[in-house]
Structure 1
Amino acid sequence: MSTTTMRVSQKTRNTLQELSKDTGMTMQDIMDRAIAAYQRQRLLEATNAAYAALKNDPEARNEMLEERAVWDMTLDDALGGV
């Protein structure tokens, strides 16, 4: 994997160093995991916001439910779990 250099605050560097000591992980691995977790969190927040908006729009919600009903028919398509 290629790498690059980026600036972080001294506080962040100290925190990374402390976490690295505590976990035995490299600072890079800690940052990679933290960024991946933050990315997942943002995706879930966006998904929740979209569902909240859908809940407040009865027409769009009904369209989604109708589409789900169509897709649900494929669950019994006799493919035998393929």
Structure 2
Amino acid sequence: MQTTTVRMNRRTWEQLKELAANIGLPMQEILDKAIEEYRRKCFLEETNRAFSTLRENPELWAEEVDERKTWDATNNDGARKEGYDA
């Protein structure tokens, strides 16, 4: 695995070090997990903003609702995935 150096303030480094000691994970793993969680949070926030914008436009929102109804119809198409009971 390639690595690089990232600067952080002393307080952040101390908190990271303490967290690593408390939960028994390497600091790098904690950073990896924290960044992945933050990336997901940002993605969901952007998705929520996009849906809010979509809902503000009645014509576009009606198209979205119609498309959802079309996709919902596939729930009753009789197709079943083997080993999956929904």
Give the TM-score range, shorter chain. Answer: 0.7 to 0.9
1:56 aligns with 2:63: no
**What is the rounded CA distance, in whole Å, between the counterparts of 2:6 and 2:52 in structure 1?**
37
Partner of 1:27: 27
- Normalising by the residue count of structure 1, what TM-score does the alignment of the two structures yield? 0.87
Deviation at 1:47, TM superposition (A): 1.2
CA distance in 1, matches of 2:63, 2:27: 47
**How big is the shift at 1:57?**
0.9
Stretches (4+) displaced over 2 A: none
Please, what is the CA RMSD of the aligned residues?
A: 1.4
What is the total number of aligned residue pairs between the two structures?
A: 82
The CA distance in 1 between the partners of 2:34 and 2:60, in whole Å, is 35
User: What amino acid is the match of 1:61?
Assistant: W
Distance 1:32 1:18 in 2: 16
What is the rounded CA distance, in whole Å, between the counterparts of 2:80 and 2:23 in structure 1? 45
% of aligned pairs identical?
A: 40
Instruction: Give the CA deviation at 1:2.
Output: 2.5
What amino acid is aligned across from residue 57 of structure 2 in structure 1?
Answer: D
| 2:7 partner letter | R
Please list every run of 5 or more consecutive structure 1 residues that lacks an aligned counterpart in the other structure: none
Partner of 1:80: 80
Query: What amino acid maps onto 2:15 in structure 1?
Result: T
Q: Deviation per CA, 1:23-57, whole angstroms, max 9, x where unpaired?
A: 11111011111111111111111111112112211
